Amino acid sequence: MKSDKRQSKRVNASLPLKVEGISASWEGMIKNLSVHGMCYSLPADLSSLPPEEKEVFLRFSLPDKMKSIEVMGWIAHNETNCNTTETGVTFMFLNPQDREMIQKFIK
């Protein structure tokens, strides 16, 4: 059994997401979210990042919020399952206002 090493509460979510890497950008869906990171999914045929690319820029909006959250993410893991690739990221440099919005969303 895997141990859960998450630093904070994480909730399931189904929110659209824009992911930008150095070489390309993709539209995906957030699967779960916390103040420290998220897991998102992309179609497997569109989501191949070069192995050396470990940072992505993430842009998403929470329900009922006009302001989008923009944050750098450090890729912790990638796992391809059938038609999707699931990617776990840790947030880097999340500003305090965005952290507060996420905290309110997950309560």
Amino acid letter at 68?
Answer: S
In the prediction, which pLDDT does 46 show?
Answer: 62
* Confidence (pTM): 0.84
pLDDT digit string (tens) for 35-75?
Answer: 999 999 988 776 556 556 789 999 999 998 888 999 999 99
Domain that holds residue 90: 12-102
Residues with Cβ within 8 Å of residue 52, at least 6 apart in sequence: none
The number of folded domains in the chain is 1
In the prediction, which pLDDT does 1 show?
Answer: 38
pLDDT digit string (tens) for 6-21?
Answer: 567 889 999 999 999 8
Q: Alpha-carbon distance 77 to 99, whole Å?
A: 22
Amino acid letter at 36?
Answer: H
Instruction: Find the CATH number of the domain harbouring 22.
Output: 2.40.10.220
Q: Alpha-carbon distance 98 to 107, whole Å?
A: 15
Report whether 106 contacts 34 (CB < 8 A).
yes
Query: Across the strands, what pairs with 57?
Result: 20, 72
